[in-house]
C-alpha cells in the first residue's frame, strides 16, 4: 500500500492551504462540542462551528464524520469534524478515541490529496497511528486497483513538549503503524500465494532488510531435529512446513524475550475438516506469526535494548493421504508425546514445538500469540483477546493490551482441566473430551511445554486478528494487525522496567 506522508505542521493549520482540516468533536450534555485544538478553526466561523455542526446533525459520537464547507472562511475547502465520543469527568479523551477518530477521518478523506489535522494536539502518537491505519487498503489483487489519493497529512503539534520530542513521537508512532501494516498485508495475502515456503521467504526478506539474523528449517531440517508437531500438522499438504527463527540483539540488551507466533497459512481442519461456511477466513490463521515477524522487525527499528528471538512455525493444515489422523501419536520437539483426538486443534501442536525450542534460549520472558481457538470468540467476542499464562506476567500483558487500545482480558488456567487432557496412549491429548472451557484447555495444553520458572503469556487473537465486517475507526475489513501494538508495548515495558 501507499501510505500518506505525515509531517508536523510548521504554521497554524487554520492558515494551511489544504483540501480539508480535521477537528475533533465530543459529546456533551447539551449536544456537540469542539475538542481541544480546534480553536483557530472555530474562530474563522466566528465561534459558531459547534452550532453549525449541531444544525447538521453532529453529535460527537465515536467514529462520526461530518463535513462542513468553509465558504471562503479558510484556505481549506472543508472542515471535517471527527467524533471522539464521550470525554471523562475531567473532559479528557483516551488515546484510543483519538486513534479511532483519526482513522475514521483518514478513510473519509480518501479522495483528498493534502489535509491537516488538529487531533494530534490531543494525542500525537494516537493521531499518527490512527491516520496511517485508517488510510490502509489492500488492493494488490484488484485488476484495476484504486490508487490511494490521500498523499499528505499535516499534524498540528501538541502544546506541551518541544519539537525534538514531537519528531521522536512521530517517528516511533509511524514505525509502529507500519509494523501493523506489514502484519495486515501478510494476513490479507491469499493462501495460494502465502504458504509455508513463501511465508518463510517473506519473513527472511523483512528480517534481512532490518539487519537481523535468520535461520530457516525446511521439512528435512524439521525431521532431523525432531519437530514432530510441525511435521504432523504440515504433512498433509503438498506445500511442506517451515520453521523460521529471527534474532535481534539490541544495544545494551538487559533482558531476553522469546516471541512465538502460530503460522498456519491455511486451516481446513485437516481430517477433522471444518464446515465450508466462512472457511475462507482461515487465511488469517497465521495472524499470530505475522504479528511476531512484524514485531521483531519493529523492535530493531526502534532499537529496543533487548535480545529478542522470534520462533515461527509455519504449516498448512490439509486433508490428504499423507495427513495426520485422529488417533495418531506425535512425538513433539523435546520428547513429549501427544495423542491427536482432533486434527483441527493443530495450532497448539506447532506452537508446542516452537515454545520448547524458544525456551532453550533461556529467555527472561516468553510471549506467544495465535489465532488459537474458536472458543475465544465465544468467550470474549471478536475484539477482545484472551490472555493466559503465568499469573503476574499474564496480568501485566493484559493491562498493556487494554492500554494500547487493542484490548485483552486475563483468563485463568484451571488445574482441573489438566486431567481432561490425559491420554490412554501418550503423555497428553491435544483436546479434552468436552467443549467446556475450550480456550482455557488450550492454554493448559501449552503450559505443559513451558518451563515452570519462565514468565509467559499467550495472547489468543482468534477474533481480533481478522475483521469480517465493515470498516470502523482505523480498522479495515480483513487483517487487523492485532496484536502488534500490544507486543511492541510489552517489549517497551520490559525494556524500561525489566
Q: Are residues 142 and 79 in the same domain?
A: yes
pLDDT at 148: 59
Q: Are residues 57 and 152 in the same domain?
A: yes
Q: Are residues 75 and 196 in the same domain?
A: no
Please state the rounded mean pLDDT for residues 426-434. Answer: 97
What backbone torsions phi and psi does residue 376 show, to the nearest 5 degrees? -60, -40
pLDDT at 394: 98
Q: Is residue 173 part of a domain?
A: no
Q: Are residues 250 and 300 in the same domain?
A: yes
Q: Is residue 126 part of a domain?
A: yes
From the candidates 77, 274, 301, 418, which is the catalytic residue?
274
Q: Is residue 174 part of a domain?
A: no
pLDDT at residue 147 above 70? Answer: no
Domain count, the chain: 2
Q: Is residue 166 part of a domain?
A: no
pLDDT at 29: 80
Q: Are residues 289 and 242 in the same domain?
A: yes
How confident is residue 373, by pLDDT bands cut at 50, 70 and 90?
very high
pLDDT at residue 145 above 80? Answer: no
From the candidates 184, 348, 357, 394, which is the catalytic residue?
348
Contact at 8 Å (CB) between 417 and 406? no
How high does pLDDT run on average in the chain?
96
- Residue where a domain stops, chosen among 157, 173, 208: 157
Give the other-Cβ count within 10 Å of 458's Cβ.
30
Q: Are residues 141 and 193 in the same domain?
A: no
Residue with cell 467514529: 63
Q: Are residues 274 and 397 in the same domain?
A: yes
pLDDT at residue 2 above 80? Answer: no
Q: Is residue 167 part of a domain?
A: no
Q: pLDDT tens-digit profile of 90-106?
A: 889 999 999 999 999 99
Q: Are residues 153 and 187 in the same domain?
A: no
Residue with cell 465465544: 378
Strand 255-261 to strand 152-155: parallel, antiparallel, or no bridges (unpaired)? unpaired
pLDDT at residue 149 above 80? Answer: no
Q: Is residue 332 part of a domain?
A: yes
Active site residue 447: no
- State which residues form the domain around 440: 181-497
Q: Are residues 196 and 128 in the same domain?
A: no
Q: Are residues 399 and 444 in the same domain?
A: yes
Give the other-Cβ count within 10 Å of 224's Cβ.
10
pLDDT at 272: 98
Q: Is residue 400 part of a domain?
A: yes
Q: pLDDT tens-digit profile of 41-65?
A: 999 999 999 999 999 999 999 999 9
Set of cell numbers at residue 236: 498433509
Please state the rounded mean pLDDT for residues 284-308. Answer: 98
Please state the rounded mean pLDDT for residues 461-465. Answer: 98
Angle between helices 163-188 and 196-209 (to 10 degrees): 160
- pTM of the predicted protein model: 0.97
Q: Are residues 141 and 238 in the same domain?
A: no
Q: Is residue 168 part of a domain?
A: no
The residues with which 164 forms a beta bridge, in sequence order, are none
Distances, alpha carbon 230 to alpha carbons 6, 102, 198, 372, 381, in Å: 42, 41, 17, 15, 29
CATH number of residue 116's parent domain: 3.40.220.10
pLDDT at residue 448 above 90? Answer: yes
Active site residue 274: yes
pLDDT at 444: 98
Please state the rounded mean pLDDT for residues 212-228. Answer: 98
Amino acid at each position: 500500500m501507499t501510505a500518506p506522508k505525515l509531517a508536523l505542521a510548521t504554521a497554524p493549520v487554520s492558515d494551511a492551504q489544504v483540501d480539508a482540516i480535521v477537528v475533533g468533536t465530543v459529546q456533551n450534555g447539551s449536544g456537540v462540542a469542539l475538542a481541544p485544538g480546534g480553536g483557530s478553526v472555530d474562530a474563522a466561523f466566528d465561534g459558531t462551528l459547534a452550532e453549525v455542526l449541531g444544525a447538521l446533525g453532529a453529535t460527537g459520537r465515536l467514529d462520526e464524520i461530518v463535513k462542513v464547507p468553509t465558504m471562503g472562511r479558510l484556505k481549506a475547502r472543508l472542515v471535517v469534524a471527527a467524533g471522539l465520543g464521550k470525554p471523562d469527568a475531567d473532559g479528557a479523551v483516551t488515546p484510543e478515541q483519538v486513534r479511532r477518530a483519526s482513522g475514521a477521518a483518514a478513510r473519509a478523506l480518501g479522495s483528498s490529496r493534502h489535509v491537516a489535522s488538529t487531533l494530534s494536539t490531543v494525542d500525537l502518537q494516537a493521531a499518527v497511528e490512527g491516520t496511517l491505519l485508517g488510510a490502509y487498503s489492500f488492493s494488490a489483487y484488484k485488476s484495476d486497483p484504486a490508487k490511494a489519493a490521500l498523499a499528505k497529512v499535516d499534524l498540528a503539534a501538541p502544546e506541551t513538549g518541544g519539537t525534538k520530542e514531537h519528531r521522536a513521537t512521530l517517528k516511533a508512532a509511524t514505525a509502529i503503524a507500519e509494523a501493523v501494516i506489514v502484519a495486515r498485508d501478510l494476513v490479507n495475502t491469499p493462501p495460494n500465494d502465502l504458504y509455508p515456503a513463501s511465508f518463510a521467504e517473506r519473513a527472511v526478506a523483512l528480517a534481512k532488510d532490518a539487519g537481523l539474523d535468520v535461520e530457516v528449517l525446511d521439512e528435512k531440517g524439521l525431521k532431523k531435529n525432531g519437530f514432530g508437531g510441525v511435521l504432523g500438522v504440515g504433512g498433509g499438504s503438498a506445500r511442506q512446513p517451515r520453521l523460521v527463527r529471527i534474532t535481534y540483539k539490541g544495544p545494551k540488551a538487559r533482558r531476553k524475550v522469546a516471541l512465538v507466533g502460530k503460522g498456519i497459512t491455511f486451516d481446513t481442519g485437516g481430517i477433522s475438516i471444518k464446515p465450508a461456511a466462512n472457511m475462507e477466513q482461515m487465511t488469517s490463521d497465521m495472524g499470530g506469526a505475522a504479528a511476531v515477524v512484524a514485531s521483531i522487525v519493529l523492535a530493531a527499528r526502534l532499537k529496543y535494548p533487548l535480545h529478542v528471538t522470534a520462533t515461527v512455525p509455519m504449516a498448512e493444515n490439509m486433508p490428504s493421504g499423507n495427513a495426520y489422523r485422529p488417533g495418531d501419536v506425535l512425538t513433539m520437539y523435546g520428547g513429549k508425546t501427544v495423542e491427536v483426538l482432533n486434527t483441527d486443534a493443530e495450532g497448539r501442536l506447532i506452537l508446542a514445538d516452537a515454545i520448547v525450542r524458544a525456551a532453550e534460549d533461556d529467555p527472561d520472558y516468553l510471549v506467544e500469540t495465535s489465532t488459537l481457538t474458536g472458543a475465544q470468540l465465544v468467550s470474549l467476542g471478536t475484539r477482545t483477546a484472551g490472555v493466559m499464562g503465568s499469573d503476574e506476567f499474564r496480568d501485566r500483558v493484559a493491562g498493556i493490551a487494554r492500554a494500547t487500545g487493542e484490548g485483552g482480558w486475563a483468563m485463568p488456567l484451571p488445574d482441573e482441566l489438566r486431567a481432561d487432557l490425559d491420554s490412554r496412549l501418550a503423555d497428553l491429548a491435544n483436546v479434552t473430551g468436552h467443549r467446556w472451557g475450550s480456550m482455557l484447555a488450550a492454554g493448559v495444553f501449552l503450559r505443559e511445554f513451558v518451563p515452570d520458572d519462565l514468565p509467559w503469556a499467550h495472547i489468543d487473537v482468534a477474533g481480533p486478528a481478522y475483521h469480517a465486517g465493515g470498516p470502523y475507526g482505523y480498522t479495515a475489513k480483513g487483517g487487523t494487525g492485532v496484536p502488534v501494538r500490544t507486543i511492541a508495548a510489552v517489549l517497551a515495558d520490559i525494556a524500561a522496567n525489566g
